[in-house]
Amino acid sequence: MEEKKGNQKVGVNTSSGARKVRRLEEEGPVSEAKRSVTVQAAAENAAAAERMESAKARAERKRNKQEARADERRTLEEERMAAEERARERRMQSRERARERRAARAARRDMLRNETKVQRMERRERERQEKIAAERQNRELKHELALKRKEERMQKRRMASEERRHKREQASKRRSGRGGGIGGWLAAVISLGTVSLIMLTVITVGGVNMSNMSAMMSAGYQSNLYEITELSENLDAALGKLRLASGAGEQRRLLIDILVEAELMEGALERLPVDMVTTVNMASFVNRTAAFAREGLTSSRTGRTLAGGEETIEYMYRTNAAILKELQTLRNTMSAKDWEKLIKDGQKGRMNDGFENIGSNVIKTPSGIQDGPFSENKEKVSPKSFSDTEEITPERAAELAAAYFDDYAVREIEHAGDVIRDGMTFYNFTLRDERGREMYAQIAKAGGKLVMFDSYEKCMANNFSQEECVEIGSAFLQKLGMEHMHAVWLQENGTTANINFVYEQDGVLCYSDLVTVKVCETKGKVVGMEALPYYLNHCERTVRAAGISLEEAADALGRFRPATGRLALIPYAGSEALTYEFSGTYEGDEYFVYVDADTGEELEMFVVLDTRQGRLLR
């Protein structure tokens, strides 16, 4: 029996295995094609899946970057807002401190306007005691800083010595073969670690304490400089208005403001961390400004005005304007390093240089104005007293200073450095009496002469006459070895007398040998002196006879009829000229006229000005 399938005939008796073989042979090519299609599809699916994963990764990275940038922007914005907030807080604190300072000054102005003379004296004594206490505290603070630094150095040396000792012991043990092994090394390491920890703790704690104290001192000094600058600004405004004020009420109000600001500035100057000689000219200007305002108020109470004081007001205004400019520059240019140097080196640095520039180059006497005949002459017209003299040490100069001021109750003498004036070296000394009051003195390195001293003595009353003040000044000069000194000029402001003495030889006044002495009329003692012109020029001269008589020289004056006349050697044309000095009045004005003693030619003339600062010459 046969079965037909396709065009082939298959026998009924064919086995099932043969049939399966034939079926596989027939289906083989089709299966291979299917497998190829399946592999290709799988590969495409895998590539598509890979592309999808890559796209997802890129999208994830992009999203992460965007989130990072957003976080960075948020952080920057937060930092900016925090910085702005800190700046606002600093501005608010600065404004608050400024308001507190203005309120304190306003309260002090009101107090000064209403206080009586007794209250003013009590207040000044109280402020003086507070200043002494503050200076004592400052000295103690500096001393404590010095002790801490010294203790740190000693501690470092002890630690270094201990470390070296341990090293020597370990080396000795290794050489001798004893104490070896891990135990010895462990003990050495523990000991060295303990020593290092102690040293680190001492240095850290000491450094923090000194840093805090230095910051406090720096803040106090900065506040002091800002206070002086602000007071100068207030003084500038008041003086500027006084230049144009004409009403008695307005003048009085401005004079009160000037007096208050000047007194506040005087106190602030005394708190400056610079030496007295640096601020002496500035303090003198402030004192004269306060004296002018005080006398102006006295005149206004009696119904008089400030007529005739325009030149003085203009001088004070322009001088204070120049001081203010320098103070503002100093305030704006003082860096953190400058403040650090000020605390570390004391009176050295930019602040001391700035105030020295103010005292030396900014404050000038009004042009043509002199405190006595030839008081502004600085020419060296004859042999100098410092020539061929032995130089002394600072220790010897301190001994001489103690002798010069043996009746001033001096308890402390401090060498404050050296200074060069007119090509010569002088020792600076700060002297303190038993009440803490300070004086500044300069002693020549060559010969040990006292050439200058000044003090901040408060003179409030007129207890001594002009004649007594002249005697007091003359006795002081005699104690210094200056003989035959003659008073030629006296300027008084009510509580102090400034007296010019010149050397007199054979009846002839030698104006080049000039000494200025300041006498306190309250206590009757010398509180200041300037003798450099005397020592620059003093010598024994050969005075020749005059070519014409006193009467002949007086006749050459024409309409001016002098009350007195005498011979005088005056500085003239880089040398000295023998003249007749005549003084007298003409139509209500007082004059000094100097006529050549040989030719009768008029060489010099001064007119006396009655100003708020006293009698001055032009």
Q: What is the pLDDT of residues 291-306, one digit of tens each?
A: 778 767 766 665 555 5
137 and 274: one domain? yes
Same domain, 94 and 178: no
Residue in the structure block whose two tokens are 């043969």 = 18
Digit-coded pLDDT (tens) for 495-545:
788 899 999 999 999 999 999 999 998 889 999 898 888 988 888 888 889
Q: What is the pLDDT of residue 532?
A: 86
Please check whether residues 172 and 42 belong to one and the same domain: no
pLDDT for position 280: 65
Q: Please tell me the total count of domains within the chain.
A: 2
Q: Are both 257 and 355 inside the same structural domain?
A: yes
Which domain-ending residue is among 322, 342, 362? 362
The verdict on 214 and 334 lying in the same domain is yes
Mean pLDDT of 345-364: 65
Domain range spanning residue 78? 2-109
Going by pLDDT thresholds of 50, 70 and 90, the confidence category of residue 309 is low
Q: Are strands 450-455 and 438-444 parallel, antiparallel or unpaired?
A: antiparallel
Q: Is residue 316 a part of any domain in this protein? A: yes
Residue 152's region, left for phi above 0, alpha for psi from -120 to 50, else beta, is alpha
Confidence of residue 6 (pLDDT cuts 50, 70, 90): very low
What's the DSSP call for residue 484? S
Determine the Cα–Cα distance for residues 477 and 470; give it in Å rounded to an integer: 11
Residues 69, 180: one domain? no
Flag whether 490 is in a domain: no
The pLDDT > 90 percentage for the chain reads: 14
pLDDT at 149: 74
Which residues pair with residue 519 across a beta bridge? Answer: 497, 526
Q: Where does a domain end: 327, 362, 397?
A: 362
The pLDDT, as a whole number, for residue 381 is: 46
The mean pLDDT value of the chain amounts to: 77
Q: Answer yes or no: are the C-beta atoms of 516 and 499 closer than 8 Å.
A: yes
The yes-or-no verdict on residue 130 having pLDDT over 90 is no
CA atoms within 13 A on the CB side of 143: 6
Grade residue 605 by pLDDT with cuts at 50, 70 and 90: confident
Whether residues 100 and 137 share a domain: the answer is no
